[in-house]
Amino acid sequence: MQPADRSAMELAAAVAAGEISAVECTRGHLAQIEATDDSINAFLHVAAEAAIAQAEAIDAKRAAGRSLGPLAGVPVAVKDALCTRDMPTTCASKMLAGYRPPYDADTVARLRAADAVIIGKTNMDEFAMGASNENSAFGPVANPWDTSRATGGSSGGSAACVAAGMTPVSIGSDTGGSIRQPAGLCGITGLKPTYGRVSRRGLVAFASSLDQIGPMARSAADCGLLLETIAGHDPLDSTSLAAEVPPYTQLLEEPLCGVRIGRVAEHFGEGLDGEVAAAVEEAFAALEAAGATIHDIELPHAKYGVATYYLIAPSEASSNLARYDGVHYGHRTEAPCRGEGFDSPLVEMYCRSRSEGFGPEVKRRVMLGTYALSAGYYDAYYKRALQVRRLIRQDYLDAFEKVDLIGGPVSATPAFPLGEKTNDPLAMYLLDLYTVATNLAGVCGISFPCGFTAGGLPIGFQLQGPALAEPLVLRAADRYQRLTDWHRRRPAMATG
């Protein structure tokens, strides 16, 4: 079996046992990147030399008789929104082209400490704003199942590289669905942990009350393995949770008997593709056959989720992205700034640098957020959105009195053709219909494959759980994957 076919769990065990060296494992995956990424564009930066050096150090550690970390020799691709000390971090923006962070994100530091090999940085929508990965300043990512189609976004590169076998696992971030939606459209498994479960230190900020880093893999078990490493309190992120990190991979054995799964009738309304609906219903049936019980529940304010999200997220973004001022780091205009038509030469420099550095979607969201926060509109838009956010969270709290998990679709359709929605921002925003409420409520959710269309495109199933219910969410997804083989199907380029 080639290294590129194996799970992270198998690879770590094989490296620890000396059946394969970390260097061989890394080279195997680099070869797969070499062979496939020209047609996918999943990576913005492949750190071949640094990865080999890291793998050599792991092999030396083993040769010296020292014990290896839980991710020994496992190649991990990291979304380019996370700071890496020895690699560029661009957030797929011209604004940060050439930026070299002076520190590692907490997640990256934890991965290195667990003896994972950081193999490179993945493509994404610029500043994680998008649902198709077409907003990258460095070109879109192609879906490995059909390269004329989008991967979804914003963690499109992290989803595609795992689907195509370039790495067994990757790191994404999810502000309104950015892990779960591309995982669903690329036929892999992706977990958005509870808000605060993983430190956000070193994650380039988009919407700070919604952003969460999470694992992407070809199985729920591998997501659990990764989460064990990256979760935990970080004294330098005051919003990270102090709760102890459970051994997720050791909590998968208990059967699903008696687990109550909610089904929301409104999820099956207008706009849901027929093949997606059928596959999702079959997944409910399979979970029921595995011992779970299915219950009809309501999330009455869920239909307001997208509108609420597109006020709160841009508002937070407009504030967070104010740091790109052409002074401390990032793009600065070359134009001579004399201040004509501006308040001062300095203000002209700010405005020109930001206008040159940001792409159209980032500008749109900064504008929308600035508008929603501006005098005279704050109460009507931003404050009202925060009020509806409470109603949406209350819906979840009420629902989780009746059920343990909530199931449903991840996306209304399978992967769509590249270019189809790029001229209609609102149509792109509506792709987040099933995923944004999880972030607004701060709970957790996983997406995993539950079937394929007649045309061979993957279909995703979403399970949401209460805050800190990752053990149950992972166990339910893992149980489903023990009974089905959708997650084992691979696009032709992964097996070629």
Handedness of CA 303, 304, 307, 311 (dihedral sign): negative
Active site residue 178: yes
Tell me whether residue 62 or residue 332 sits nearer to other proteins (CB atom). 332
Shortest distance, position 325 Cβ to other proteins, whole Å: 8
333 vs 484 by CB, closer to other proteins? 333
For residue 284, give the nearest of 302, 271, 268 by alpha carbon. 268
Q: For residues 142 and 212, what is the distance between their CA atoms, to the nearest angstrom?
A: 24
Q: How far is the CB of 121 from other proteins (least distance, A)?
A: 16
Contacts of 91 (CB under 8 A, 6+ apart): 80, 81, 124, 126, 127, 128, 204
Catalytic residue (one of 178, 240, 318, 447): 178
Q: Which of 79, 121, 192, 421 is labelled catalytic?
A: 79
Q: Min. distance of Cβ 2 from other proteins in angstroms? A: 39
Q: Which is nearer to other proteins, 263 or 384 (CB)?
A: 384
- Residue 452 and residue 354: Cα distance in Å, rounded? 42
**Nearer Cβ to other proteins (259/299):** 299
- 93 labelled catalytic: no
Q: How far is the CB of 401 from other proteins (least distance, A)?
A: 18
Active-site option among 21, 93, 132, 154 = 154
97 or 294: CB nearest other proteins: 97
Name the residues annotated as catalytic.
79, 154, 178
